[in-house]
Amino acid sequence: MLRRTALLTLAGSVLAACAPEGKPQFKAVDITGADYAKDFALPDADGKLRTLKDFQGKAVVVFFGYTQCPDVCPTTMQEIAEAKKLLGADGGKVQGVFITVDPERDTPELLKAYVANFGPDMVALRGNAAQTAAVAKDFKVYYKRVEGKAPGSYFMEHTAASYVYDPQGKLRLYSRYGSGAQALADDLKLLLQA
């Protein structure tokens, strides 16, 4: 038993040594210093042009999706909302931003109603086709319209991850789909404390 404890202690020391001292240990992929996804400039559901500067002082979680999405989008949006709740009073220092990849169907009214399901302060952004393509390219987000079986029906394939910015507006994390609200909350807490 003593030998097992010593081995576990040694293993823990080795693993701890792998982490740079003083650097936060995020659960998401740390992309600090990445040369993409620096900002966006898109109208919100009220037509007001929004950029990262509008959310200065908040940690910002950006997710690309569409309102007709059956699973990935509502799951991710719910995780953002739940992470804000897990942070308690600090949840108010987190801004969720939903950028539609389906501006053809996602009208401003529909977007406003959609994001309201996940909290009164969630923001939805909607560019035209060219603006959407430009922002997606800058964020390295893949999306593609795929025709459905019924005439005129379609769905959107798209990147299923979130981009997380610190309160100074710097891109810090790439949060993979399905990481969970607690993991996101833990990472947001580290960014808010920095």
The annotation places the binding site at 69, 73, 158
Integer Cα distance of 175 and 62 in angstroms: 10
Residue numbers in the known binding site for Cu cation are 69, 73, 158
Distance of CA 125 to the CA centre of its chain: 13
The answer to whether 79 and 184 have CB atoms below 8 angstroms apart is yes
Integer Cα distance of 55 and 85 in angstroms: 19
What would you report as the CA-atom Rg of the chain, rounded to the nearest whole angstrom? 19
State the CB neighbour count (10 A cutoff) for residue 80.
26
Integer Cα distance of 168 and 151 in angstroms: 47
